[in-house]
Amino acid sequence: MRIDLHAHSAISDGTDTPAGVVLRARDLGIDVLALTDHDTFDGLPEALACGTTVGVRVVRGVEVSCTLLGSSVHLVGYGPREEDEDLAEELRRIRQGRSGRVPAMLAKLHQLGYPLTMAEVEAQVGDSPSVGRPHIADALVAKGFFPDRNAVFDSLLADGGPAFVDRYAPDVRHALRLLRAAGAATVLAHPWGRGSRRVLDETVLASLAHDYGLDGIEVDHTDHDESTRAELRAIAERVGLLVTGSSDYHGAGKRDNELGCNLTDPLVFHALMDVVSTRGGRP
C-alpha cells in the first residue's frame, strides 16, 4: 500500500486543483493521500469527492503554521472536525496575518529594485483564502525577475531574507491543544528542515510528546538527508513518537517533492487513524 500523508493544492500554495492532486495520486499508484493545505480546509470537499470517484482514500489534513522559540515550525493535523470553532478561529487569524503583511513585503521589494503591485500578486493566488510568500514569489517569476519560486526564496523571501516580513503564528503547543481538541492526530512536519533543528532537539520533542500529546514526526522528507533521518528515527524510538514519510507535494511550486517520493508505513497510518477515532475526529 502506497501512503502519502502531506500534499498541497492551489487552495494554499500548490499549483494543482484539489481534484488534480488526487488524480495525480491515482496515476502514480498512491492508495492513500492526505491533503494538507496550509491553514485551511477549503480544498477538502473537492479532494474527498474526487477520491471517492477514482478510488483513492483521501485523508482530511491541515498544515498549521506555528512558531517555537522564534523559529517557524509546521504541525500537521489529520482528521480534525472542521467545524470546531476554536480551531477555525485560529486558522482565520493565521491566514489574516499571512495576507496582512503582504503590503509591507511589497514595499521592501520595491526598495530592493523589484517593483510588484498587489494586482500582480493577486493574479497568482487563485482560490487560496490567504496570500503568502509563495504567491509573491510566483508573481516575481511571472515578471521574469527569477527562474523559479525557489530562486526567489533563496535571494529574497526566506525567513530573515531581505524582503521577509514576519507574521502571526501560534506557539506550537497551543496549536497542539487546538488540534487535539478538534479530534485530530498530530505530526510535526519536516522537524529538522530549514533551521528548525535548533529549537526541536530531543528534550523538546520528548516534552511535546509527553506533555502536549504530539503523536508523530515526519522523518522521511526531502528536507532531511540520510543521517538526519537516522537521528530522528532514533529519537522517535526513544521518545515514543510515530514516524511518517511524505512528499510535501506542491505541484510545480516545489522541486524534488513529487507525490509518493516518500511514503508512510501502513501500520503507522492505521495507528494515526486509531488516534483520530479515539479523539472523536474524522478518520
C-alpha cell at 203: 528534550
C-alpha cell at 166: 514576519
User: Residue 112 phi/psi, 5° resolution?
Assistant: -85, 0
**Interface with ligand AMP includes 170 (CB under 6 A)?**
no
**Interface with ligand AMP includes 155 (CB under 6 A)?**
no
Q: How far is CA 15 from CA 1, 93, 133, 254, in A?
A: 26, 24, 14, 9
C-alpha closest to that of 32 among 73, 1, 74, 65 = 1
Instruction: Look up residue 166 and give its amino acid.
Output: D
Could you say which residues in the range 58-97 bind Fe ion, by CB under 5 A? Answer: 74
**Interface with Zn ion includes 16 (CB under 5 A)?**
no
First to last CA, the chain: 17
**Interface with Fe ion includes 39 (CB under 5 A)?**
no
**Interface with Fe ion includes 149 (CB under 5 A)?**
no
Burial of residue 93 (number of CB atoms within 10 Å: 0-12, 13-18, 19+): middle
Could you say which residues in the range 197-256 bind ligand AMP, by CB under 6 A? Answer: none
Q: How many Cα neighbours within 13 Å face the side chain of 38? A: 27
Shortest distance (Å) from residue 119 CB to Zn ion: 27
CB atoms within 10 A of CB 201: 11
**Interface with Zn ion includes 82 (CB under 5 A)?**
no
> Smaller CB distance to Fe ion: residue 74 or 167?
74
Per CB under 6 A, the list member of 23, 104, 141, 158 interacting with ligand AMP is 158
C-alpha cell at 253: 511550486
Shortest distance (Å) from residue 120 CB to ligand AMP: 16
**Interface with Zn ion includes 39 (CB under 5 A)?**
no
Q: Could you tell me if 266 and 1 are in contact, meaning their C-beta atoms sit under 8 angstroms apart? A: yes
Q: Could you tell me if 185 and 281 are in contact, meaning their C-beta atoms sit under 8 angstroms apart? A: yes
Shortest distance (Å) from residue 110 CB to Zn ion: 29
Total site size for Zn ion, rule CB under 5 A: 2
Contacts of 145 (CB under 8 A, 6+ apart): 114, 152
Pick the piece of the chain touching ligand AMP (CB under 6 A) from 127-135, 218-226, 229-237, 274-282: 127-135
Residue nearest to Fe ion (CB): 74
Shortest distance (Å) from residue 250 CB to Fe ion: 6
**Interface with Zn ion includes 248 (CB under 5 A)?**
yes
Could you say which residues in the range 85-124 bind ligand AMP, by CB under 6 A? Answer: 98
Q: Would you mind telling me the total number of residues written for the chain in this entry? A: 283
Per CB under 6 A, the list member of 129, 132, 170, 191 interacting with ligand AMP is 132
Shortest distance (Å) from residue 39 CB to ligand AMP: 8
**Residues lying near ligand AMP in the complex (CB under 6 A):** 13, 38, 65, 98, 132-134, 150, 153, 158, 167, 194
Binding residues for Fe ion, rule: CB under 5 A, are: 13, 74, 189
